[in-house]
Amino acid sequence: MGRASAEILAQTRGPLRSRKLPRVAEPTRAEIFLRWDSAAPRRPILGSPARGGRSRKNPRGRTALLRTHAIPDRLPSRLESRPAHGHPRGRAPTLVADSRLRRVRHQIHLGSQPLQPGLRADARLRLQKRRALSRSLLDSRRRLGADEGQETSLRLLAWTFGLFAFRDAESTTAARTARLAQLIAAQADRVHRNLDFAASTRGNHAMSESFGIWLAGTLFPELKRAETYRALGRAVLEREAATHIFPDGAYSMYSLNYHRFILHVYFLAMRLGELNGDRFSDALYQSISRSLDFLAQLIEPVSGEMPVFGSNDGALVCPLDSCDFADYRPTLQMGWYLLHGKRLFDAGAWDESLFWLAGESALKSGRDAAPRRADANFPDGGVYILRGESSAAFIRCADYRERPSHADQLHVDLWMRGQNVAVDAGTFLYNGGGLWQNGLARTSVHNTVTVDGADQMLRFSRFTWGEWSRGRVLKQTEREWQGEHDGYARFGVQHIRSVISLEADCWLVVDRLRGDRPHRFSLQWLLNDFPYSVMPEVTEIRLKSETDIIVRMGLLAGDAQFSLVRGDENSTRGWRSRYYGQKEPALSLMLETERADAVFWTFFGFGGDKVSASGQNLGLLIAGRPIEIPITV
């Protein structure tokens, strides 16, 4: 390790060890504000660029990653058990993972009131914990070398974040800063040496790891390989965006949580690049813009939630706000402003992440018109959307270009008047025991038809599928979507699904199965865990939520067995996971039959609506109006 690594953060000429850091007066109470600049106590996470991309306080052009007086923490200091990854409101960890700040008040005052992130912290205790962890990491070189490059890169971000956050703290001495600088230099080198392997995985590792070395090269130019880190990191970030963000804006890992993950990485890179006179290409900005438009079509604007498509392992690069983990409004608000200079949503708690990234002036920006479309097709990402008056169906139908994560062809997420009625099961655990080893990736837990209990693809391992199924759209109009997949062609079975948007936010889903011999066909709908009453004789369930919702299933011809399961202790049936490592009961409706051909129908409506089958027709009574729909076998 050369002397340069110990001079990384010197604000004056000469080595860091000779620098006298400013000291902070001992607080008279537990309340403490960790400041970056006493003349400007409230500054955003990345500050504002000076002319030429150089900071007035730092003529060498190194813009600090954090310029603020405090860092919010979402993790209560007292927890009965270790929280799972992907945290509900109030339980997400801070980016400064080495410290624990006790948060008693943390809110945004909008309008004429100033922005006040309020924190209470026992500075000595928290900083001692941070130093102890940093020392243990430095002393455990074997442990550092064994960590994955992605984990190391995110640690680089957290360390840099924390280093500048605690810069003016009394306990931040030159020796300790130099020690942390050595860690940063060593970890950047470790990531750099293994970047080729990260790229070979064709996932988000290459993006996060190239960001890690780019971050080190950009903010710490005294490093011996700083220019190599910066140039290589930039090149890989550009290449990965062009390769793995599809032309329609979807992300190649077919996971909305991973999509948010990589967007956070790019938001930080784009903002830092702008502040340091190293703006990324227009092509990259266009890719991110398409990506944001894709997510903007999927979000439920009242709750900020989206379908839990694909792997959902709790990853969250920028937990800079007090919103729930499942709320995507902070991400869209940040990105929309960075790309368009306007906000996508009205003022709210989701503005806090935007503040950290772009400052208080961003909160005064205008609001852009929401880019909602009556129907939206994303064939590269395998997502199709039909909308009702106050409802939407999100349909999975993919012709995979990259590795799929879940076997979920023709799955439908259904949202009715702001409520997620038919849900995705999520992920729960990658490495659970037995059936919980990524068990929620399988076909049987999704809202689709399973044939003979088999998945739509061959499962090679908990992460790897073989014989990728291919989805194909057969028809789409403003009110109807129809598609198929070939995942059961190996059994001689064809599955075609039609999704129809009816009036008054009602929906009809028809599944046609054709085989050359009898098979066991199982249609499942996983429903939100609302209070319910069930009428098995007519295969109907009534959900008692904000409005009474009815779900009725049927087989057009022949006999079928109906069952309802909630949280089965001996299987994955009747479970969902909104947060990684946590599962909760859901309502699994299933209709099963054994025959060569079958036509299932499912009606979603409201109290008072009725449905009946007669021959090849379905008779509906919606809001008092009779409708007859022919079903072609």
Distance of CA 314 to the CA centre of its chain: 8
Q: Are 436 and 569 in contact (CB under 8 A)?
A: no
Task: Write down the residue that tokens 């290409």 correspond to.
Answer: 281
Residue 426, beta-bridge partner list: 577
Equal fold, 3-364 vs 375-605: no
Residues in the chain, overall count: 633
Give the contacts of 260 (CB within 8 A, at least 6 positions apart). Answer: 295, 315, 316, 328, 331
Q: How far apart are CA 310 and CA 256, in angstroms?
A: 7
Q: How far apart are CA 267 and CA 136, in angstroms?
A: 31
Structure tokens at 229: 């880190």
Half-sphere exposure of residue 217: CA atoms within 13 angstroms, side-chain side? 23
H helix intervals, 276-411: 282-298, 329-340, 351-358
Q: How far apart are CA 246 and CA 294, in angstroms?
A: 10
User: Hey, CA dihedral for 609, 613, 614, 619, is it positive or negative?
Assistant: positive
Structure tokens at 579: 């947060």
Per-domain residue ranges of the chain: 3-364, 375-605
pLDDT score recorded for residue 279: 96
Q: How far apart are CA 423 and CA 416, in angstroms?
A: 11
pLDDT score recorded for residue 475: 96
Nearest one of 588, 585, 589, 590 to 567, comparing CA atoms: 585
pLDDT score recorded for residue 135: 59
Q: How far apart are CA 422 and CA 430, in angstroms?
A: 23
Q: How far apart are CA 611 and CA 579, in angstroms?
A: 36
Nearest one of 338, 370, 361 to 264, comparing CA atoms: 338
In degrees rounded to 5, what are phi and psi of residue 540? Answer: -130, 145
First to last CA, the chain: 73
DSSP symbol at 453: T
The amino acid at 221: P
Structure tokens at 420: 């997620």
The amino acid at 443: T
Half-sphere exposure of residue 193: CA atoms within 13 angstroms, side-chain side? 9
H helix intervals, 479-612: none
Q: How far apart are CA 187 and CA 120, in angstroms?
A: 32
pLDDT score recorded for residue 183: 86
User: Hey, CA dihedral for 445, 451, 453, 459, is it positive or negative?
Assistant: negative
The amino acid at 533: S
Q: Are 95 and 318 in contact (CB under 8 A)?
A: yes
Mark residue 197 as left, alpha or beta (left: phi above 0; alpha: psi -120 to 50; beta: remaining).
alpha
* Fold (CATH) for 375-605: Beta-galactosidase; Chain A, domain 5 (2.70.98)
Element (DSSP H or E) covering residue 244: helix 226-244
Mean pLDDT in consecutive groups of 10 residues from the start of the chain, 633 residues: 33 28 32 28 37 33 30 25 40 29 26 34 50 56 62 90 77 80 88 87 91 93 90 97 96 97 97 92 98 96 94 92 96 97 95 90 89 81 96 97 96 96 97 93 98 97 93 96 98 98 97 98 99 94 93 95 97 97 98 98 95 89 92 72
Q: Are 451 and 363 in contact (CB under 8 A)?
A: no
pLDDT score recorded for residue 515: 97
DSSP symbol at 261: H
Q: How far apart are CA 602 and CA 358, in angstroms?
A: 47
Q: How far apart are CA 410 and CA 424, in angstroms?
A: 12
Nearest one of 382, 392, 584 to 471, comparing CA atoms: 382
Q: What distances in angstroms separate CA 26 from CA 1, 96, 100, 105, 123, one per listed residue?
A: 35, 22, 19, 22, 10
pLDDT score recorded for residue 176: 81
H helix intervals, 276-395: 282-298, 329-340, 351-358
pLDDT score recorded for residue 128: 57
DSSP symbol at 107: B
Q: How far apart are CA 609 and CA 506, in angstroms?
A: 9
CB-count exposure of residue 412 (10 Å: 0-12, 13-18, 19+): buried
Task: Write down the residue that tokens 């009965």 correspond to.
Answer: 80
Q: Are 91 and 318 in contact (CB under 8 A)?
A: no
Element (DSSP H or E) covering residue 149: helix 149-165
Q: Output the CATH code of domain 3-364.
A: 1.50.10
Structure tokens at 394: 């999100």
* Dihedral angle of Cα 34, 37, 42, 46, to the nearest 10 degrees: -100
pLDDT score recorded for residue 139: 56
